[in-house]
Amino acid sequence: MTRELPDGPSSVLPRAGVRQAAVAVAASLLLGLPAAAQDGKDKAPAIPFTGDFGLPGASGPRNALPRTQPAPTGAPPGARFLPSPVMPSDSGADDIPTLPDFTADYAFADYQRGFYKSAFEGASLRAARNPRDGAAMTLLGEIYAQGLGVAKDLTQATAWYRRADAAGDRNGTFALAMLAVAESADGAAAGAEEKRKAAVALLEKAAAAGHPLAAYNLALSLLAARRADDVSRAVSLLEKAAAAEVPDAQYALAVMLREGQGVGRDAARAAQWMARAAANGNIAAQVELAIMLFNGNGVEVNEERAARLFAVAAARGNAIAQNRLARILVAGRGLPKDLVQAAAWHLMASAQGRTDTWLDTALKNLTPEERKRAELLARERTDDINFGLAP
Amino acid sequence: MTDKAQIYLVSRTIDDPSGAMAPLAEACDGGGVAAVLLSFAFTDEREQTKALKTIVPVLQKAGAAVIARTSPLVAVRGGADGVHIDTHGAVQEAIDTLKPDRIVGVGGLRTRHEAMEAGERDIDYLMFGEPRADGSLPDLDTTIERAAWWAEIFAVPCVGFVHDLDNVAAMAETGAEFIGVGEAVWSHAEGPAAAIARVRAIIATTDVPGREAPGR
């Protein structure tokens, strides 16, 4: 399943499996930011790319061509605002199993398993029985917002989120904030500015209640306002979200630390947060960390680890990583020299718009037979990526 | 860092130090064990120090670093190379006391979050997959997944513990710097030395995918 992501406001629509990225995109569009620190699969890092690692002509124009997107994996279609009972990066699979808890949230469990009808019934029952059950109300709002087993109804969704917010459920407050964000995304529409202010106020409330994604989105809004005294507050919000393993926040915090924005420049801490963002699957962070490892920026130089990390991001479809990996394979730094492999990755990067005349020259003496092998490799890998088979 | 994983051997809980000596020495004798983790059934610090003083020199002579589940003070007094601590234990105290001269390793990591938090401290390794305090065994697939994930991104070495020698190859493929083995060695039919030789042979013939060439 391959689909092209259209540019423009329609890409605000949340996609399954990338809820945080969707949130980031929505917020950044709302706030006029360049879409910073979102799922980095198809974007160059938001901060000016500093990928020169001693190879000639290493920096080039960033590409912004349409790209392919792998089939969403894993997460249920509704996994958008509602955090799981555990942090996203903690599967909990290795936790010691506990006895069934009679207070357990069966409605939420049904929701997670995709049994939306019984989730809806369970949550309705709970909300009717207990006017303070904010979690059930948020769940109802989510079911309406997504149209899961019921007709999609944003009015109903908003109403339930409001009740959840009033009952003190921070997830409800956050969902309400993100609805307001989406509504105000069209800056030209009437009342967009009021909506934006309302969204920020709700984000403040949810962040104060300890909602990590709210803290992250609030930080983005502060950064977008471009007021100097907001920047350090944005950093402390990013720190909160980063400590709760929000990958985009970890990436953003790493960039702030590296650039010395709103916080003292600290290359070592920048590298640590970049590594955590990378470990949480943020592709932009994987690429940036690889560059930092290659250059010894905040970490000890390690060309082998850098090469491995480029390979990881390249296999996930990142064009910059594919280009860098091709160069590494030509130069034989961090990985043994292999011109056919290099040509394959170069072809894949070029197909995404990331051309490179240095590589063209370095690879021009390949035999037709070698070229054919490289093309075959590139085609197979591209198929893997498009079908979601890449690591 | 060498290319191939090294062996990290976990002792049975020691209640009789002189009795524990023979199998430990036998396992380490070939020089194939990089590190040994000792844990004691008794808690008396003087007894633990005494036990370390007996066991440590023998294992060190065989080329193994000796790490103990004990207090930093006992480790120093007993001549051990370092301590192994549960992540919820006194990790900072151990770092403050022992670094940079001695080793501090962390285990008992239940989540990725805990692993990353631990990995940002000044520790020498972290361990995935060891038997839990109640004796139950973590799921192998989870441990392998976790070790591979860690080794891919982070520079701090990790120990991937396997409960069965049949799983050594799978763990070695993750790129983990150390393969942890314990009861599988002690209860091996041909004795601990043969078990260690087998682990070494498996590691020697296992390549880490992606270390030689990217992709296929």
Reported as a single tens digit per residue, the pLDDT across A164-207 is 999 999 999 999 999 988 888 776 777 888 888 999 999 999 99
Q: How many CB atoms lie within 10 A of CB A25?
A: 24
Position A194 scores a pLDDT of: 86
Domain, as residue range, for B154: 6-204
Residue to test with chain A: of B120, B152, B163, most A Cβ within 10 A: B152
Reported as a single tens digit per residue, the pLDDT across B176-214 is 999 999 999 999 999 999 999 999 999 999 988 766 544
Q: Which residue has the higher pLDDT, B24 or A28?
A: B24
Position A183 scores a pLDDT of: 83
Position A64 scores a pLDDT of: 28
Position A178 scores a pLDDT of: 92
Any domain includes B216: no
Of B110, B154, B210, the CB nearest to A95: B110
Position A58 scores a pLDDT of: 31
Q: Is B186 helix (H, G, I), strand (E, B) or coil?
A: helix
Any domain includes B215: no
ipTM value for the complex: 0.84
The per-residue pLDDT of chain B, averaged, comes to 94
Any domain includes B211: no
Q: Which ranges constitute the DSSP H helices of B62-208?
A: 72-78, 91-98, 112-119, 140-153, 168-172, 183-186, 192-204
Q: What is the mean pLDDT of residues B13-32?
A: 94
Of B116, B132, B146, the CB nearest to A96: B132
Write the CATH number for B110. Answer: 3.20.20.70
Any domain includes B210: no
Q: Which residues of chain A have pLDDT under 50?
A: 1-103
Contact A279 B149 (CB under 8 A): yes
Position A388 scores a pLDDT of: 77
DSSP 3-state helix, strand, coil percentages of chain B (rounded to 5)?
A: 40, 20, 40
Position A211 scores a pLDDT of: 96
Total domain count for chain B? 1
Percent residues over pLDDT 90 in chain B: 91
Contact B146 A89 (CB under 8 A): no
Position B211 scores a pLDDT of: 67
Is the pLDDT at B102 greater than 50? The verdict is yes
Please say whether the beta carbons of B78 and B49 come within 8 A: yes
Is the pLDDT at B100 greater than 50? The verdict is yes
Nearest CA in chain B to A245: B113
Any domain includes B214: no
Tokens (6 digits) for A118: 């019984």
- Which residues partner with B10 through β-bridges? B37
Any domain includes B213: no
Give Cα A10 distance to the centre of its chain.
17
Position A80 scores a pLDDT of: 40
Reported as a single tens digit per residue, the pLDDT across A97-138 is 344 444 457 888 888 888 898 899 999 989 998 889 999 999
- Total length of chain B: 216
CB of A327 less than 8 A from some CB of B: no
Any domain includes B21: yes
Any domain includes B61: yes
Position B22 scores a pLDDT of: 95
